[in-house]
Every structure is written in C-alpha cells, then in structure tokens.
Structure 1
Amino acid sequence: MKKGGILNRHLAGAIAELGHGHGVLVCDAGMPIPEGPRVVDLAFRAGVPSFAEILEGLLAELVVEGATAAREVREANPAAAGLLDGHFPGLALVPHEELKRLSVGARLVVRTGEARPYANVLLRCGVFF
C-alpha cells in the first residue's frame, strides 16, 4: 500500500502513464469533458474536492512546463486566478471556448467538485531532467 502522495489508484495510474508534452486538464464540476481523454472524476459534492486541493496534489507529483487557462478566470474567479498566477508565472490565457477546444487534445482529465466558475487549467507535462 502507498503511504503518501496520491492514493486514488485510478489517478495515480493515469499520472504514471503521462509523458513529456502530454496535456492534463484539471477542471471544475461544470466544464464539459470531451470524448477521448482518460477521465478521473473526483467530484463528490459541490466544492468537494476543491480545484485548489487537486491542483496542489497534482503539482506535487507532476513536472509541468506550461499551463493554459480561460481569460475569464481573472474577473469571474479571482481566487482561482491568484492560485494559477502563483504557480504559473507564464500562464497562457485564452478565451474559455478556446480552452474547451484545446482540452480535446488532453491525455488526462481530472474533474474536481469545484463549484466556482472558470476553475480550469490545462497543464503541459515536462520532464524531470
């Protein structure tokens, strides 16, 4: 049995399969999930688990070389915008509709229970060396 890190076997296994350049969409409960990517749905109730909790846990285990979020997050969800800015100084912002189009190319989608708008980010995996 694992003693730390991500304990959810579906999420831990999906993370282990990621490689350089793969996309990981971390999304709120309302984001439409495209056909194609592997989905690990962690949503339990509105707000549980939060976008922040899941993002922090993923960042502890992933090498991320870039991130893209919806431009609308700045005005509609300042808390999520602050979290993203704190982790990704070079955060790319695109219109929400573009983020939805980009998410089709993700290798993995992690759905949270977040119930605040635009709490979504598309991560691009890097390498540890």
Structure 2
Amino acid sequence: MNGIPLARLARQKEMPSLTRIYKEITNNKSFLARINEARRIGAQTYIENAMDELEHADNRNIMVVREKVGLAKWLASKLIPIYGDRQEVKTDTTIEIKWSIPDDKTIDVTPAVDEIGSIKDK
C-alpha cells in the first residue's frame, strides 16, 4: 500500500518468500482481493512520489524521473479505473414484465362448448 513492490517486501527477513506469497494468492481469493486493493493504493502512492520527484528534478536526473513518471502513469492506467483509458460502464440489462388483474375483475377464459363438443363464441 505504500508503493513498495511486493518482491522487495518479500526479500525482508521477517517476510515469507515471494513464491510462498504467490501460492497464497493462488489458493486464497480473499488474500488475492486484499493484495489487489493494496496494489491499487500503492499505485496512487507511486504516482504521488513520482510527481514529487518531477517537481524537484534537475537537468542531471530528468530522464530517470521521466521514466519513473511514465511507469507511474502506466501503473495507474492499469490499476486505478479513474486513470484508465477505458472507462468501464456497468449496465443492468434486466427486463421485468408484470401485469396483474384486480381481484374484483376476474376474466373467464374458459372456452364455451356446445352439446357436441365444439367451441363456440361467447
């Protein structure tokens, strides 16, 4: 969530290995959702850090800072929907048709039958 890549976190002594983390992501949908949310928040942090670096860049490091800003923009476009090129539009295509007949207006739809079994008009 702080903009630190998962691989860098996994190299810390007290953290599980990256392989173990990926196995847990594969086996645990709740953990996957939490990781994805942390990545979205981390991308926002990364953008803010890149903007700060850009404000303080000079002619010696501007190319590196531009690369960081480009990466931040790309991450944001993939992980944070409001920055993406494609806007997702969710629509509800449920169609519901109802009709009702008041209780006091019962309609008899039973066909009238004459003596020989023929249907006749009512």
TM-score range, shorter chain: under 0.3
Q: Which has the higher helix share?
A: 2
Higher Rg of the two aligned structures:
2
Q: Which has the higher strand share?
A: 1
- Taking structure 2 as the reference length, the TM-score comes to 0.21
